Amino acid sequence: MLSTIKSIGTKIVQYGLAGVSLLPSIGSGIFTSNKLFDFIAPNSSLRNPVAAFFGLAGYTIQLTTRVPSMVKKTADDKPCINCETDEDIQELSAKAKAAYYSLLLTVSMSNGFSSLFAYLSTITFAEYIALLFEVSIENQSPVVKYTIQGIGVLIFGANYWSYLNFNYEAAKVNAKKWAKIIDSGDYSFDGKAAAKTFGISFFNVASSPFLAYFSTVNGLQKLPIPFPASAKQIISGVSAVTYLTSILATSVPRTYDQMKSTRSTEAEIESDFACKKPLKGITYGFGFFDSIRNGIGNGMGVINTTADVFHADPYNPTLITGAILSTASTTYLALQFGILYGWEKTAKLISGKDDAEEVRINVNELNDPVDTGIEIDTASVETTSEYAVTSDMPDQIDSLRHFIN
């Protein structure tokens, strides 16, 4: 009996911590909605309801597609026999080793900026709550303001801790994969799959540095420490470069893997489980709107960053057209990879058909890599794709998720 109670208590704590760590997803939805209405209808009565719905959609999707994997990973007390090491990297050429460590550093920096966006999302959520009660955070006592800032800093740290504990191994896998490609000089690819990848990913990739810049500059503005305008631009520029590198090194290859794969998803989940249909309906329903929100975030990033950096007219038809294309591309990718495959992973975990232990990447297997398709799991290193998710900027391929890497 005591062991049962202890087990239940452990599960409650694990799910509780996982759920709280995803609170920034609410702020991210509110932030994106606010920027959209600032652009199209600042005084609309729909502003607050839409912001609340986007926030709810984002959090719900995190609960159904991310939390189960996070809890499973946390609960796994087995020794990490498959963790990545750098031993075989030392056998590669100097150019390959430089690529490995540079990419690993870049991805880690990108996740640091992603954590800054988590901080921004937390503050945005607090401001939204204050707005509902018709109060201003600025008019509150120092204790209240410092408490909110402290929670934001805590979320920043938790977000980066999550990367180090759940995604860093995947980052090493990705970096090692590229290093070995560079070392061998084998850049062969499937032309048809590459064309499809280019077609559906181009505008998402092209808009990614705008999204990163936009998110970072707004995050810096929320910090209690004042930054000169030039410093904000430089830091945000670094964020844009690191995020673009992460996208190119992980998201694009992962999409390419999927374009080569013909495997079915739902067909592989043979057994049902209690509440499967309603849970799937909730995931797909909220996932549809969360994917749209992800797309809108990218589109608004393009518009606001271009207007800020290049002093362009935000209502320029050409700029708006580019933003719409970026929105469409990101929405599709978030829906296809973040929602559909996120649900597949969750369903396998719940039904007990998770094949994580069979497909967990082993260091020795990297010497003879094979294309086995893709399986999105943003909270774990476990994946069947050659390129795992390692970042969360903002929710995007976090959906592809935040993110991506």
Mean pLDDT (whole number) for 360-379: 32
Residue pair 390/174 in contact (Cβ under 8 Å)? The answer is: yes
In a domain, 380, yes or no: yes
In a domain, 405, yes or no: no
At residue 400, does pLDDT exceed 50?
A: no
Q: Minimum mean pLDDT among 179-183, 305-309, 334-338, 374-378: which range? A: 374-378
Q: Which domain holds residue 390?
A: 2-399
Confidence band of 362 (pLDDT split at 50, 70, 90): very low
Residue pair 260/190 in contact (Cβ under 8 Å)? The answer is: yes
At residue 402, does pLDDT exceed 70?
A: no
Which of 111, 116, 119 is closest to 152 using CA atoms? 119
In a domain, 309, yes or no: yes
pLDDT of res. 87 = 72
Mean pLDDT (whole number) for 119-146: 91
In a domain, 404, yes or no: no
**Of residues 105 and 376, which shows the higher confidence score?**
105
pLDDT of res. 372 = 27
pLDDT of res. 14 = 61
Instruction: Give the count of domains, the chain.
Output: 1
Q: Alpha-carbon distance 275 to 240, whole Å?
A: 41
The terminus-to-terminus CA distance of the chain in angstroms comes to 43
In a domain, 388, yes or no: yes
pLDDT of res. 179 = 92
Task: Taking the CA atoms of 352, 355, 356 and 358 in sequence, report the sign of the dihedral they define.
Answer: positive
Neighbours of 48 (CB within 10 A): 16
Residue-wise pLDDT for 226-272, tens only, equals: 899 999 999 999 999 999 999 998 888 888 888 887 554 444 444 57
Residue-wise pLDDT for 7-33, tens only, equals: 777 667 666 666 666 788 999 999 999
